Amino acid sequence: MRSWFFSACLLLAPSLAWGWGFDGHRKLASMMHEPLPANACLRGWVAARQTSALQDDACDPDRWRYPSAGAKYDPDEWPRHYLEIDWVVPPETYPRDWANAQALLRNYAVKNGQVPWHVEARYQQLVNAFKGQNQAEILQALFLLSHYVTDAFSVLHNTKNFDPDGLHQRWESDMFDNNAQLNGIASDAKNYYGTVGRADPKNNIFDVVLVGNGLVATLIAADQAHVGDMPGFYGAVRELTARRWGDALTLMASLMWTAWAEAGAPVLPGFASNCSMALPTQEIVLKGYPPAGGFGHPDGGPSLLDDAGSAMQPDASVGDDGGTGGGGQARPFDEEAPACGCHAASGSASLFLLLLIGGMRWAWLQRD
């Protein structure tokens, strides 16, 4: 009985909204080397080692969020994919130093999201892999890092309003179910490759999250103007999406290049002859939606004294017991995911689940 219920849920409920969807993450991972200089040793090395299996590995962080991942399931995985930066007002004052964030936000330092700090940690793993010159470790670190970096460029991963009327799945997953639309975005993204250069993992991610937060209203307006019209919605958001993808790939390539340089620019087995061993020296420049004034590099974000001018949103206040105040929208980890993992289901899907559960309860009561 119970196994039947789980199977029905998995088969009939809508698919989950996972970052850029598996197809989107695979595509982004396949392109991560492209913004690097054409003759860069690292560009050719990564290009020659691109495989469908590695590109699928870039989807693993989404799999780890669910018990179905088995031994790799990690209940702490959810917040590593986003930063709901507008829980602090103004968002620009969100603490960039983790200790300051914990002091100001307490348990919300985790719940609001951790993607800048997790990218920083994954970047260091890549540096260490380059130092060890172990091809398998380098590639694993690269493809996993690509997931978190590109997730940070989803506008809906940059705001507490992460799923207005089910938009999260329509934009990040459903839109890419159509291969022509997926390939169209990927092709257009090449027009928005910026200038690769020295990357600052944590601060670069903070800056692109702030830019993305400013694009939320544009994305929502496009969705509301094309309700039930996926081709129309795709046409309305195609450029916005391609710009964010172009920026994401520019930053990912820059992080790759900078990590290699920080590791001492090792000559890796398989480097092509006569390729360029040049190091990144200039500041990274985005072309799609560059941060106003370029990237910033504060030492650790606003100090706690400076944060006196910052305020949590009223509906995100923290009580003495650390609970949520007001009627703020619940985030995924604020509630236990259904047994089938149908966590990001829309309202209609939730109704379906309630009806299914009711039917199963009736059947259980009628058992012999």
176-231 pLDDT, tens per residue?
999 999 999 999 999 999 999 999 999 999 999 999 999 999 999 999 999 999 99
In three-state secondary structure terms, 318 is strand
- At residue 19, the pLDDT reads 76
Write down the H helix ranges in the chain. 2-12, 21-30, 41-48, 52-57, 60-63, 98-105, 108-111, 115-132, 135-151, 167-172, 179-189, 201-213, 216-224, 230-262, 347-365
- At residue 173's C-alpha, the angle toward residues 31 and 163, to 5°, is 120
Query: What SS3 string covers 258-315?
Result: HHHHHCCCCCCCCCCCCCECCCCCCECECCCCCCCCCCCCCCCCCCCCHHHHCEECHH
Spatial contact of 349 and 342, defined as CB atoms under 8 Å apart: yes
Residue 187: exposure state from Cβ atoms within 10 A (0-12, 13-18, ≥19): exposed
Angle between helices 115-132 and 201-213 (to 10 degrees): 150
First-residue to last-residue Cα distance in the chain:
13
Structure tokens at 266: 């090792």
Spatial contact of 315 and 326, defined as CB atoms under 8 Å apart: yes
- At residue 352, the pLDDT reads 40
Residue 275: Cβ within 10 Å count: 17
* Rg, Å, the chain Cα set: 21
Angle between helices 230-262 and 115-132 (to 10 degrees): 50
Domains defined for the chain, CATH in brackets: 19-72+84-312 (1.10.575)
Q: What is the pLDDT along the chain (368 residues), one digit of tens a residue?
A: 444 433 333 333 333 445 799 999 999 999 999 999 999 999 999 999 999 999 999 999 999 999 999 999 999 999 999 999 999 999 999 999 999 999 999 999 999 999 999 999 999 999 999 999 999 999 999 999 999 999 999 999 999 999 999 999 999 999 999 999 999 999 999 999 999 999 999 999 999 999 999 999 999 999 999 999 999 999 999 999 999 999 999 999 999 999 999 999 999 999 999 999 999 999 999 999 999 999 999 964 444 434 444 555 544 433 333 333 222 344 444 333 322 222 333 343 434 444 443 444 444 434 43
pLDDT digits (tens, 9 = 90+) for 7-56: 333 333 333 445 799 999 999 999 999 999 999 999 999 999 999 999 99
